[in-house]
Structure 1
Amino acid sequence: MPNSQSPKNTSPTNKSSRPESSSAALPNDAPQHPSSDQPSQTTSQPTRRNFLKAGTAASAVVASGLGATRAVRGAEPVDVSKDYVRIGLVGAGGRGGGAMNDTLTINDKIRVVAIADVDEKKPANLRKGIARYEEKVAIDDSKLHTGIDSYKRILDDSEIDLVLFATPPGFRPQYVAEAVDAGKHVFAEKPTCVDPAGYKTCLWAHAKAEANKTSIVTGTQYRRQANYVEAIKRIHDGEIGDIVSSQMRYCSTGIWYKNRIEGMSDTQYQLYNWMHFVWLSGDQIAEQAVHNIDTMNWVMGGPPVSAYGSGGRFTRPDDSEMWDNVEVDFMYSGNRPCSFMCRQIPNTKGETSNVIYGTKGTCTIHGGNKGASISDREGNETWSMKGDIGAAYKQEHKDLVDSILNNEPIVELKQTADSSLTAILGRMAAYTGQNVDWEFVSEKSELSLFPEDFDMDAELESPGYAVPGKTKLI
């Protein structure tokens, strides 16, 4: 039966929060795990340290790593003479199922040939759910992989060309890096990292994919939503004049929470309830609001210079490390401020939007299907366009498969990693109460959240939620 047992010492008065408190306890050396669902066993895994030896600069990392490729298909892109691209999925939960349905709906020249997940029921259940796609699905029982090592079976399978990753974000940097190292094409959900250590791994993987001539497409669907593309093109073409300032809002009424099941270890529980533990989700600013942050980086032409923020918690369960709300003032180059807010509080008004103020007018870009518009300085609407987020979800998968078949690789991991690190920058500023700059978070920070000596059956003490003034900037 479920119960509300919490990890030990969750009170921030006893111990500073893991996210920005102690690098000594959290080195860049940790095994990884393939799914958001309840784990079942323990094993030894490769470590992130392999991908961090050469430091921050991607060119240096690639120079040290290119000779160590673990060749699965010769580290070569898919043979474009093939009739179809063969796909394996890692993480068969809700987002994994969504990605499967999106790619199966829009692509013809594909075959889904393998599924991996920790939960022994999920691969078979998902295979049954996508069976209606008939000849696009050809998954033998031997290609339904379960357990903590199941992602490795996907990477070691020479019949798989493209791997879709829909696991908790904390695992994503290493999994993507290992897939690229194995010569696979990749689809990676957002965010692509939850700490600066993961960001450096992403830089390695991006550069290695470029060297391999393999594709990496990420789950930032707004980059392919028609009204977003057109609105931002108009901004860049000068329709609203010079950008003066902007605001981002990702405000919703709540998020899921799973009660602990009796008999779970701390590690098992945290993976089961992964949204509420920062080493896995990055908190809401990274896991959810990264969509707005990615949009603003797109508008502004790159990440911000600095961040200063605040926030707190009022309604979270006692053992959740998440905050209810985060507010950050980002400063972009050219002295262009952006006011950011994300919030998950029941019975509050939701709002998902990006507003860009220019010397000639204002552009408003809403999330979902609400659309985008431009108004002049007097408030008269001069342009508008409806949104279609469903089409955008599918388009990212079409662009990916087309890039493979046409031997024209798309490698967009760095731009999403930059946006993920921007979210981390904002979180670090809010959690610590400090003004944090991009140079620090991208080059100097030693923050690595993944637990040392990762063990599915082990105790894993949660440090609790962050408290500004007590939580340290590292």
Structure 2
Amino acid sequence: MEKQSKTQQDQQAANRRQFLRTGSAISAGVAGAAAMTRPVRGAEPDSKEDNIRIGIVGLGGRGTGALNNTLTINNNIEIVATADIDPNKKNVLQRLKQTYGDKVNVKEEDNHVGLDAYKRVLDNKNVDLVLMTTPPGFRPQYVLEAVEAGKHVFAEKPSCVDVAGYHTCVKAHELAKKNKTGIVTGTQYRRQTNYMEAIKRIHEGAIGDVINMTARYCSSGIWYRSRKPGMSDTQYQLYNWMHFIWLSGDQIAEQAVHNIDVMNWVMQGPPETAYASGGRFTRPEDSEMWDSMSVDFGYSGNRQISFKCRQIPGSAGDNSNHIYGSDGMAVIYGGNRGATIYDRAGKEVWKMAGNIGAAYEQEHKDLIDSIRAGNPIVELQETANSSLTAVMGRVAAYTGQRVTWDFLTNKSELNLFPANLDPNGERPVPEFAIPGKTKLI
């Protein structure tokens, strides 16, 4: 085959991206599908050249999980570019290649390493969709840059860990809608059938008017990685990112945002106020994380939600949502435990099992299907709202102050990301928040 010129290659890539944006054989029904609903599947492409080509930024545990999810459930896709700060993560591709064959098609020159390696993925004209699975602190800016580069995006949760990141997410959401590029987020409960059906029934009045709710994400400990000899401060914090708030946002943002997202989903919007407490008993000395928080969230209509998250080894776990209405109650459990609705007398009137594994895959199928249908889903705003709700609870607990949504969205200057991040540089000595001492900003 005659080698193509760079101009021919660029034109071919542009033609293929146009195909992926408009879809093929789109029916009127498909064209009218709305975001946040499962799109009707469009026609499959005719050749490998019409594959949706995927890049990924972040090849850690969740990144590997996202790759397995999308490669398992989707056909006519291929992974063509990667980026990670750890050169050893390249080995992930070898394992995936053994399982998924030609779906993993990353050339050596497209397997990038370094703190700015994500830019090489965004610069790649062959990449249509980018999976953003880095530590959360990087996510808002990376997602915005991906949208500015004309890419579709899958972004893990949380969307942000501070107020500055929230505003960046809002900007990215609006630009994606304007660009007609998709953003699906890793809030898999929004695609888990028992959650979807239970909340649909709640909104239709199955338990009457929603009065209040309790939500829990309580578990045992979380991983911790000891500092290795020769690591700079920045290298260590990136390596042990869960324990530094500018990277993870603490448990309430990094993990418990799933239940907070359910809260906002049920209440059909974010809260107005947060008042909280908590503390730390078991975290390693240099961890900035607390290990428990309890937050009272106030929603419109004088509705209250009592929320608790905890990570303490040996403690009793609880991942559940209890929604109380004027005519009954709904219980939605995390994982595979399912959902149940009861009437006011306590009689079970509806029940559905859960399948979280299918939900992890469905979010990737919905994104690919919506791209092929020419109507990409854009849902970053919802997840950004839930992520900021988690930040709101954390700020209330850390400062000991009552915090409002209006203050965070319109007045707060909270920006945790370092102004000049040097991989080999020093970082301030880690310290955990103390209510009354930690200021509300």
Structure 2 gap ranges (5+): 1-12, 25-44
Corresponding residue number in structure 2 for 1:368: 335
- On the 8 A contact 2:209/2:327 being kept in 1, the answer is yes
TM-score between both structures, scaled by the size of structure 2? 0.89
Corresponding residue number in structure 2 for 1:286: 253
**Amino acid in the other structure paired with 1:290:** V
**Amino acid in the other structure paired with 1:309:** A
Q: CA deviation at 1:144?
A: 1.2
Distance 2:336 2:248 in 1: 25
Distance 1:115 1:218 in 2: 19
Q: Write the mapping of 1:155-234 to structure 2, written as runs, cut at 5 A.
A: 155-234=122-201
Q: Write the mapping of 1:3-152 to structure 2, written as runs, cut at 5 A.
A: 78-79=20-21, 80=23, 83-152=50-119
Higher relative CO (Cα under 8 Å, sequence separation at least 6) belongs to 1
- Which shifted more, 320-329 or 127-136? 127-136
**Amino acid in the other structure paired with 2:201:** R
- On the 8 A contact 1:77/1:184 being kept in 2, the answer is no
Deviations 1:77-100 (A, max 9, x none): 835355320001110111000000
Query: Percent sequence identity over matched residues?
Result: 64
Q: Structure 1 residues 282 and 93 mapped into 2: Cα distance closer, same or farther (>3 Å)? A: same
Distance 1:418 1:111 in 2: 32
Q: Describe the SS at the equivalent of 1:363.
A: strand
Structure 2 residue 216 is matched with structure 1 residue 274: no
- Which shifted more, 108-117 or 230-239? 108-117
- On the 8 A contact 1:371/1:387 being kept in 2, the answer is yes
Distance 1:431 1:87 in 2: 39
Distance 2:340 2:233 in 1: 48
Distance 2:319 2:14 in 1: 43
Of the candidates 120, 143, 151, which is equivalent to residue 153 of structure 1?
120
Q: CA deviation at 1:128?
A: 2.9
Q: CA deviation at 1:410?
A: 0.5
Corresponding residue number in structure 2 for 1:387: 354
Distance 2:350 2:102 in 1: 43
Q: CA deviation at 1:432?
A: 0.4
Deviations 1:37-62 (A, max 9, x none): xxxxxxxxxxxxxxxxxxxxxxxxxx
Corresponding residue number in structure 2 for 1:241: 208
Q: Describe the SS at the equivalent of 1:115.
A: strand
- On the 8 A contact 2:278/2:397 being kept in 1, the answer is yes
Q: CA deviation at 1:463?
A: 4.3
The runs of at least 4 aligned residues of structure 1 exceeding 3 Å deviation read: 72-82
- On the 8 A contact 2:275/2:396 being kept in 1, the answer is yes
Distance 1:372 1:336 in 2: 22
Corresponding residue number in structure 1 for 2:314: 347
Distance 1:130 1:415 in 2: 34
Corresponding residue number in structure 2 for 1:29: none
Distance 1:364 1:355 in 2: 5
Q: CA deviation at 1:130?
A: 3.8
Structure 1 gap ranges (5+): 1-71
Distance 1:308 1:130 in 2: 49
Corresponding residue number in structure 1 for 2:278: 311
Q: Describe the SS at the equivalent of 2:20.
A: coil
Corresponding residue number in structure 1 for 2:428: 461
- On the 8 A contact 2:164/2:415 being kept in 1, the answer is yes
**Amino acid in the other structure paired with 2:20:** V
Q: Structure 1 residues 329 and 354 mapped into 2: Cα distance closer, same or farther (>3 Å)? A: same
**Amino acid in the other structure paired with 1:221:** Q
Q: CA deviation at 1:76?
A: 6.4
Q: CA RMSD in A?
A: 1.4
Q: CA deviation at 1:123?
A: 2.3
Of the candidates 293, 300, 321, which is equivalent to residue 333 of structure 1?
300
Distance 1:103 1:386 in 2: 23
Corresponding residue number in structure 1 for 2:389: 422
Structure 2 residue 263 is matched with structure 1 residue 263: no
**Amino acid in the other structure paired with 2:415:** S
**Amino acid in the other structure paired with 1:448:** N
Distance 2:296 2:18 in 1: 44
- Which shifted more, 213-222 or 377-386? 377-386
Q: Structure 1 residues 114 and 307 mapped into 2: Cα distance closer, same or farther (>3 Å)? A: same
Distance 2:216 2:210 in 1: 18
**Amino acid in the other structure paired with 1:243:** V
Corresponding residue number in structure 1 for 2:375: 408
Of the candidates 384, 394, 408, which is equivalent to residue 441 of structure 1?
408
Deviations 1:183-209 (A, max 9, x none): 000000000100000000001100000
